[in-house]
Amino acid sequence: MGQARSLRIFHSRLRAEEKLLAEAARRLDIPVLLEDVTDDAWGDPSRTLSGDVVLARCIAHGHNESLAAFLETRGARVMNPSAVMRLCGDKLATTLALERAGVPQPAYRVAFSAEGALAAADELGYPLVMKPVSGSWGRLLAKVNDRDAAEALVEHKEHLGGRHGLFYLQEYVDKAEGYDLRAFVVGGEPLCAIRRRSDHWITNTARGGRAENHPLDATLETLLRQVQKAIGGDFLAVDLFASPRGWLVNEVNDSAEFRNSIEPTGVDIPGAVVRHAWSLAAAAA
């Protein structure tokens, strides 16, 4: 790769995050381009991006992953790489990668039929959480309190077809303190974390969860580095539960929103992201 020409932020909708990233780049004198890819066409072999570093920030995860894979063939360094996006976009694949690395997680089961799913639910015990293997913002998560609810939900998912026929069940971790964590890791190093509080069991800030600062300590930092080593990637958001067994990693996100985490933590998250992105281009030059 030659000398980097610009930091390019590709998006399908210009959210607060993309604006903040561009503003941070300009503040740091990093040449930056904001590009809407919604109506663009790709495949021209003469179109190269050699020397550029890219933040792929489309709304749809599948679009991001495909775009990243294409851009990589054209010489761009994408943050995060498409392989990391692929791993984070599949909750089962993420779970297995963390399991191989010995990262503590809630207990889980996977089943491929309604009968298997109900047997898995009985084995895990109630309540439990049933979730799709792909998706974000806490969509289509279901807390299952008993066998009757499990039977109804499994029947609905079975008739939805597609990837809903792969049943992913997870131990329900009671949030005794009323919060879970979202921690950010940039360039392999823990950056900051927020507590997400909600009266509902789903605490995503996109669903109304309230964010407050959670100071990082040595135990949490060590765990976050372990997660990054297992998953790879340049910018990760890691969701964790506190439990009597210690911190448990729930999910890992490759293209997280962060606007609600800047004020409570006091950390310049977009600045950290674009500085690391630009360092990737310099290292590869």
Q: Could you give the 3-state DSSP secondary structure of residue 201?
A: coil
DSSP string for residues in 132-192 = -SS--TTTT-EEE-SHHHHHHHHHHHHHH-GGGGSEEEEE----TTSEEEEEEEETTEEEE
Q: How many CB atoms lie within 10 A of CB 143?
A: 15
Compute the chain's Rg from CA coordinates.
Answer: 20
Structural domains of the chain, with CATH: 7-87+274-284 (3.40.50.20), 108-171 (3.30.1490.20), 174-266 (3.30.470.20)
Q: How many CA atoms lie within 13 A of 110 on its CB side?
A: 10
Cα 64 to Cα 254: distance, rounded to the nearest angstrom: 10
pLDDT at 203: 57
Predicted pLDDT at 248: 97
Give the C-alpha separation, 212 to 187, whole Å: 23
> What averages of pLDDT result for each successive group of 10 residues across the chain (285 residues)?
71 95 97 92 76 90 92 90 95 96 97 94 96 72 92 85 82 86 97 85 60 96 98 96 94 92 97 95 66
d(CA 242, CA 221): 14
pTM of the predicted model as reported, rounded to 2 decimal places: 0.90
β pairing state of 77-79 and 128-131: unpaired
The whole-number pLDDT of residue 201 equals 55
What pLDDT is recorded for position 138?
A: 57
